[in-house]
Amino acid sequence: MFNPQTLPQMDNRPAPQPPVQNIPGEIITDEKKTRNLSTEELQKILEEIRRKLDYFNIQLKIDIDKDLEIPVVKIINIETNEVIRQIPPEYLLELMKKIDQMLGILLERRE
C-alpha cells in the first residue's frame, strides 16, 4: 500500500548558483554587479550577435518604441520576413501604452 510519509522530503530551496566569471568579450551581470558599456562596445556586441544569428537564417532587429521610449527586440526569419519572437510582446506594448494614457488622464484631473 502507498504511504506518502515514507517518501523523501523535497528541498524547495533554490539550487546554488555557480560563481560569476569574468570572461573577456562576454557581458556578465548579476544582481550585485552591472557593467556600463560604451556605444562602440555595444555596437561590437550587437554585430557579433547578428553574425551568429545569420547561421540560423534569422535577423535581430532592435528598435526604440517612439511612444514608450523603450527598446523592442525582434527576431525575424530572413526568408519569410516573419517575426519569430518580439520582446516585449506586442500585447504588452499596447497594455503599457494604455496604462500611460490612463495615468495621463488621472494626472490631468488632479490638477
pLDDT digits (tens, 9 = 90+) for 11-60: 555 655 555 555 555 555 554 455 677 888 888 888 888 888 888 889 88
Strand order in the sheet with 83-87: 58-64, 71-77, 83-87
Average pLDDT over residues 61-82: 91
Give the angle 79-82-83 at the CA atoms, nearest 5°: 130
Percent of the chain residues topping a pLDDT of 70: 67
How far is 51 from 102, CA to CA, in rounded Å? Answer: 42
The grid cell for 31 is: 544582481
Confidence (pTM): 0.54
- Where is pLDDT greater, at 37 or 66? 66
Contact of 36 with 28, CB cutoff 8 Å: no
Residues with Cβ within 8 Å of residue 83, at least 6 apart in sequence: 74, 75, 76
Specify the amino acid at residue 11.
D
Asked whether the predicted pLDDT for residue 6 surpasses 80, the reply is no
What pLDDT sits at residue 31?
Answer: 47
Helices (H), 37-89: 39-54
Q: Is residue 2 pLDDT above 60, yes or no? A: no
